[in-house]
Amino acid sequence: MASKWPSNKLTHIPVLLKETVDYLNIKRDGIYLDGTVGLGGHAAAILSLLSENGTLVGIDLDEEALTRCKESIGAASNCHLISDTFSNIPSILETLNLSQIDGLLLDLGISSLQLDSPKRGFSYRFNGPLHMGFSMTSSITANEIINTWSESELRKIIKKYGEDRMAGSVAKTIVQQRSKSAIDTTTQLRKVISTVVPPRYLNKSLSRIFQALRISVNSELDALTEVLKNFMNYLKPGGRMVTISYHSLEDRIVKQAFRGHAKECICPPKLPICQCDHKATVKILTSHPIIPSEDEINTNSRSRSAKLRAVERL
């Protein structure tokens, strides 16, 4: 498969690439929007299937990723790369004078470039500032959360977004520690957490707590919920939406939203006659999520937890 798609000379290996392109069902003259264009791995494959009459819009919050994506795929006149959040898709389309599109892709979460860059503070494996914004101009940082949020707010996000059972004691220790001196770096935070979590659970807990902070800094679940509310309004009939998620919270939100939009009636089951007038707007194409093959997981361990879901606009 690697030889089938254009190489964009970048370190991020796009996840479920063939499956994504297949489910998007690319039309040569179609309009496609990649809402998480990142380093352009999926976008390069989509672009390679478009004619000069086709259009690709790539959106990302990460200015650095967009610069690198531009160098790699952005020269074509039918490719627009825009620094914004995907929850602003309706206004972005309006600015581009595009009313409806043939396909939308959201490959959620974080890229290898972000995760492996110490200065971004996403990983407990490197020392760096507690930033964690997808955009370097993010209005809030992990530092602010760790050093100013209350113990109960910290406990809540670690439990809700990290699903970590040690949330209570971790939050308490963070608050105790920061009253002595500010926690400014990933290494300092790691040290604080290691005083409460037993060594054999430490790496798992660190991953979960760092994930919880990242989700909070970037309001990830709110942005996803927002786009899932209204994507049907700008997908053409027959147009497709494909999502790739990497943790259960995201996947659950996508699954429930797709199911809701695919239902003919959303009345409580007790009502004998439908009173909601709800009409299905999409058809679910993946009754079960598509997951990577063992081969893909062996060549790209980041794909391990990926789940792809797709719908078609009716």
Ligand X SMILES: C[S@@+](CC[C@H](N)C(=O)[O-])C[C@H]1O[C@@H](n2cnc3c(N)ncnc32)[C@H](O)[C@@H]1O
Q: List interacting residues with ligand X (CB under 6 A).
A: 12, 14, 35-36, 38-42, 59-62, 65, 85-87, 107, 109-111, 134, 218, 223
Q: Least Å distance between CB 262 and ligand X? A: 24
* Gap between the Cα atoms of 219 and 211, Å rounded: 12
Q: Least Å distance between CB 85 and ligand X? A: 4
Q: Least Å distance between CB 273 and ligand X? A: 40
Q: Which residue has the tokens 């040569």?
A: 28
Q: Least Å distance between CB 224 and ligand X? A: 8
Q: Least Å distance between CB 122 and ligand X? A: 10
* Gap between the Cα atoms of 186 and 103, Å rounded: 38
Considering the complex, state which of residue 123 and residue 218 has its C-beta at the smaller distance from ligand X: 218
* Gap between the Cα atoms of 211 and 204, Å rounded: 11
Considering the complex, state which of residue 36 and residue 177 has its C-beta at the smaller distance from ligand X: 36
Considering the complex, state which of residue 39 and residue 171 has its C-beta at the smaller distance from ligand X: 39
Considering the complex, state which of residue 166 and residue 244 has its C-beta at the smaller distance from ligand X: 244
Q: Where are the alpha helices (DSSP H) in the chain?
A: 17-24, 41-48, 63-73, 89-95, 112-115, 142-148, 151-162, 167-180, 186-194, 199-217, 220-230, 248-262, 294-299
Q: Least Å distance between CB 301 and ligand X? A: 14
Contacts of 87 (CB under 8 A, 6+ apart): 222, 223, 226, 227
β-bridge mates for residue 242, sequence order:
105, 310
What 3-state DSSP class applies to 163? coil
Considering the complex, state which of residue 39 and residue 193 has its C-beta at the smaller distance from ligand X: 39
Considering the complex, state which of residue 94 and residue 222 has its C-beta at the smaller distance from ligand X: 222
Considering the complex, state which of residue 220 and residue 312 has its C-beta at the smaller distance from ligand X: 220
**What size, in residues, is the chain?**
314
Closest C-alpha to 89, from 46, 132, 60: 60
Nearest residue to ligand X by CB is 41
- Tell me, what amino acid is at 123? S
Q: Least Å distance between CB 61 and ligand X? A: 4
Q: Which residue has the tokens 């927002």?
A: 226
Q: Least Å distance between CB 111 and ligand X? A: 4
Considering the complex, state which of residue 86 and residue 124 has its C-beta at the smaller distance from ligand X: 86
Contacts of 169 (CB under 8 A, 6+ apart): 196
Closest C-alpha to 72, from 58, 88, 84, 85: 58
